A and B are shown apart, each in its own frame.
Chain A
Amino acid sequence: MQTESESDDLLIRYLRRELAEAERDRVEEMYFADDKLHERLLMLEDQMIDSYVRGQLPPDERERLARRAQDSTEQRRKVEFAEALRRLAAREASAPPRHAWREALQGFLLVRTPAARMALAAVAVVMLLGPLIYFQYAKRAGTPGRQAAVPHTQPTVKSPAPQHAAPILAFVLAPIERSGGEGNRVVIPVGDYTIRLQLDVEDGKIEGLSAAIQTAEGVTVDQLNGLETQTVGPGRRAAFLSLPSSRLREGQYVVRLSHAAADGTTELVGGYSFRVEQGR
């Protein structure tokens, strides 16, 4: 039985067209009978083409591959693809570092319409001024300001709601424009809780709101439709989401709050992100 490196050596010689006819036929029979070997062959071919586009092949081998790329459409496509991948990776390498979860967030919250961009800007302004206004309003109304009204916060623990056995942990999330997706922490102590998230929304867009909660990898953990909004301050309304803490593991999450427009399209109202951490 061949070791992997012996097998690789044979496959590389096959790719370089260096094998005698009998050996070449044997390699063909081997990979036609074995999917994994065929996959391995293609991986080695990718490596060879990558070396070619990086100018790392010896001159004679380089010349042979160049000729094959000219003669064969498929070979040429593979070379062009490898070159495009190399250039794209180089471009990304020279760009500022990005995190996978942040890319997820950016894609998830991609705002394509001017109206939605304005809505997001409005949410950002409201969230910036919101806590101040809210405290003023609460003071005048004689109601205690909640700890949860401060973004990046510790949770407020409330007594259990009638419909839930679990105590409620409430959080206010700053929108993505303000926090850059890094500030909101949702610290969940050990145990079962109902997690209540407050998302401020632009006044007027109060019906037919939907919220999708996703992990940074794009896995939807919850989707809530027909959300009701409540007044949380002068001219301010907020949507509230509730979900069991068991749905949220440690990691980065994004929330997309959207609104069904009159023409049937969905318009992004706000984007939020938060990191779930396990408390003690």
Chain B
Amino acid sequence: MSRKAQFVLTQEPFDRFLARLDTDREEAGKKYEALRRKLITFFRCRDCPEAEDLTDETIDRVIRKQGEEDIQEVIPYVLAFARRVASEAHRREPPGPPPPAPPPEGGERQLQILDGCMDLLPPTERALILDYYQHEKSQKVEDKRRIASAMGIAPTALRVRAYRIRRQLENCVARKFNETTEGR
């Protein structure tokens, strides 16, 4: 069950939290998003069942703590708090029998949605990501070298580029998947 509803935040404490991340509002927004992504990774790698919900819970609770505690370094503080939230989550929901597997249509829907998201990419990025992942049997270095060479970039740069396109696609799929699920 989502725990998000338990926390109601107003704009002012949230703005103060952003200001702690950076004095420039735009930079603060970027740092906030980066922090959020790291928290999701953290909870996922701690095998917490609902990483996104726990991320929101952590941020909400840290924001509330701003008035009570003198927070010097915000990032280490958030990480320390996340560890506490992870422990609580494991105590709350100890590992039990696995939940039922997702319905088989989930994979098909993902594929359809991904197809749609692919069409939103600029053609060169679409070609790059498909070429990059077409060599599925071989994570062969020479395949990647060939693609990188054709694009006139270093293999490392290709890897980063493919990763960033993949992330865009993943976000697009997640967004559309949620939209279609909520629309049902």
Chain A residues near B (Cβ < 8 Å): 14-15, 17, 25, 28-29, 31-33, 35, 38-39, 41-43, 45-47, 50-51, 54, 67-68, 70-78, 80-81, 83-90, 92-93, 98-101, 103-104, 107, 216-218
Contacts and interface: CB of A to CB of B under 8 A. Distances in A.
A14 B45 contact: yes
A258 B105 CA distance: 40
A269 B115 CA distance: 28
Contacts of B48: 72
Interface residues of B, number: 57
Contacts of B130: 88-89, 92-93
Main secondary structure of the interface of B (DSSP, over half): helix
Contacts of A99: 127
A90 B136 contact: yes
Interface centre among B118, B167, B170 (most CB of A within 10 A): B170
A223 B102 CA distance: 48
Given A43-B160, A45-B41, A107-B119, 8 more contacts: A39-B160, A50-B133, A70-B98, A72-B47, A85-B129, A98-B127, A104-B124, A217-B122
A152 to B, nearest CB: 24
A31 to B, nearest CB: 6
Interface in B78-129: 78-79, 83, 95, 98-99, 101-102, 106-107, 110-111, 113-115, 118-119, 122-124, 126-127, 129
Contacts, number: 137
B76 A54 contact: no
A89 B136 contact: yes
Interface stretch (B4-12, B16-24, B49-57): B49-57
Contacts of A77: 174, 177
B156 to A, nearest CB: 9
A85 B166 contact: yes
23 contacts: A28-B79, A29-B79, A32-B38, A32-B76, A38-B38, A41-B41, A45-B41, A47-B139, A74-B52, A76-B102, A77-B174, A83-B107, A83-B110, A84-B113, A85-B129, A88-B111, A88-B115, A88-B130, A99-B127, A103-B123, A103-B126, A104-B124, A218-B122
